[in-house]
A = this chain, B = another copy of it.
Amino acid sequence: MPETARSIARRPENRYGNRPTMKDVAARAGVGLKTVSRVVNGEPGVTPDTERRVQEAIDALGFRRNDSARVLRKGRTASIGLVLEDLADPFYGPLSRAVEEVSRAHGSLLINGSSAEDPDREQELALALCARRVDGLVIIPAGDDHRYLEPEIRAGVATVFVDRPAGGIDADVVLSDSFGGARDGVAHLIAHGHRRIGFIGDMPRIHTAAERLRGYRAAMEDAGIPVEATWMSLGVTDPVRVRRAAEEMLSGPDPVTAVFAGNNRVTVTVVRVLAEHARRVALVGFDDFELADLLQPGITVISQDPARMGRTAAERLFQQLDGSLLAPERIELPTRLIARGSGELPPED
């Protein structure tokens, strides 16, 4: 079919910027299309002289291979997706960075997005990434039903969950020992003489929140301490909500003498509330955070290793892509109690 001015003008690339293609390079270098492809991809079977001519044409035209087209042909996109809760949360910075480093080491790009703790948005994002044909997906789940991913996994999308397990499907998951960590933290408070201990955590539908609450209950039960309903508060980690929860526990007829904070967002807000408070209240927080050691007192935490979680998950993902993995596995990373002062304060009534 003859090229008309109209057909040329209608071409999409002429609306958004006209880039040279291999065909253009080939025409300019006076060689065939495939020869250009060989040069661009460093394939053998091109004489140095031809190669030089092609390279000159590439430079002159400012050609850059269109990886979208390449992907379409090759099947693999050399990119993976990361769905997390909030890029701005300091917990996810090191985690993303670790995923990125592993991805880079495998020649992949990382596409990522935040679910904002909204299950619908998580699904929308994950499926958009699948439509882009990412090779794999690392997901920090917001929702608890991931059956929507079943066709994708069946179609070959490698998938690893981090921090919280998948719901409704059998998939790899890398998580911290939330139950054990919380139990240890609360036991630590009990060992320092506390009996009236509060727990402030994230929404109960979030796995880590539920597990940490379970750890709290277990520690209390182990010590034979009956738990009052008013000592537990689960909900969004929004400062306003957490502040109110903390203030309620600290006031009233039978106030708590210690608080266990379910994650770093909660801890930070509780630290603020306690700073305004006359009575000294002990505090242990799940997850470490910068400067925790420099506060007065230093904040005792159950530390987890987000970078290691990210690295482990990403490595597992690429193992899946290598085809070297069989059954989905649950990998639980240990936590560590770091005593800094706030968790060792005695009860004060």
A residues touching B (Cβ–Cβ < 8 Å)?
A: 4-6, 8-10, 12-19, 62, 64-69, 71-77, 79, 86-90, 92-94, 96-97, 100, 104, 109-114, 127-133, 150-157, 169-171, 268, 271-272, 275, 289-291, 294-296, 307, 320, 323, 325, 327-328
Closest 9 pairs between A and B when the two form their complex, measured CB to CB: A17-B156, A62-B151, A12-B75, A88-B97, A5-B153, A88-B93, A67-B131, A87-B97, A88-B94
Find A114's partner among B79, B100, B128 (CB 8 Å cutoff).
Answer: B100
Q: Judging by beta carbons under 8 Å apart, are B9 and A153 in contact? A: yes
A96 CB contacts on chain B under 8 angstroms? 87-88
A14-B294 in contact (CB<8A): no
Q: Which residues of B contact A171 (CB under 8 A)?
A: 6
Q: Smallest CB–CB gap between A10 and chain B, Å? A: 7
Complex Cα–Cα for A128 and B323 (A): 26
The answer for the CA separation of A263 and B271 in the assembled complex, in Å, is 24
Q: How far is the CA of A326 from the CA of B15 in the complex (A)?
A: 14
Q: Which residues of B contact A127 (CB under 8 A)?
A: 64
Considering the complex, give the chain B residue whose CB is closest to the CB of A264.
B290
In the complex this chain forms, how many copies of it are found? 2
B109 with A17: CB separation less than 8 A: no
- Whether A150 lies near B5 (C-beta < 8 A) is yes
Given contacts A5-B170, A93-B88, A153-B6, contact A133 B296 (CB under 8 A): no
How many Å lie between the Cα of A76 and that of B68 in the bound state? 11
Chain B min CB distance to A106 (Å): 13
24 A-B pairs (CB sep. < 8 Å)? A4-B328, A5-B153, A6-B325, A8-B154, A9-B155, A12-B75, A15-B75, A15-B323, A16-B75, A17-B155, A68-B133, A79-B111, A79-B132, A87-B100, A88-B94, A93-B93, A100-B113, A109-B128, A109-B132, A268-B290, A271-B294, A272-B294, A290-B291, A291-B295
Given A6-B328, A12-B74, A68-B77, output 5 extra A-B contacts at Cβ < 8 Å.
A62-B150, A62-B154, A87-B87, A88-B94, A97-B114
Does the CB pair A72–B75 fall under 8 Å?
Answer: no
| Docked CA distance A307–B272 (Å) | 23
- Taking CB as reference atom, which chain B residue is nearest A91? B93
- Known: A5-B153, A67-B132, A290-B90. Is A109-B114 also a contact (CB below 8 A)? no
A97 CA to B65 CA, complexed, in Å = 30
How far is B14's CA from A133's CA once the two chains are assembled, in angstroms? 14
Q: Which residues in B have their C-beta under 8 angstroms from that of A157?
A: 9, 17
Chain B proximity of A254: nearest CB distance (Å): 28
With contacts A75-B13, A88-B96, A111-B79 taken as known, whether A151 is within 8 angstroms of B64 at the C-beta atoms is yes
Q: A151 — which chain B residues lie within 8 A by C-beta?
A: 62, 64
CA distance A164 to B179 in the complex (A): 44
Which residues from B are CB-within-8-Å of A15?
A: 75, 156, 323
* A61 CB → nearest B CB, Å: 8
A218 to chain B, nearest CB (A): 30
- Chain B residue numbers with a CB within 8 Å of A100 are 87, 113-114
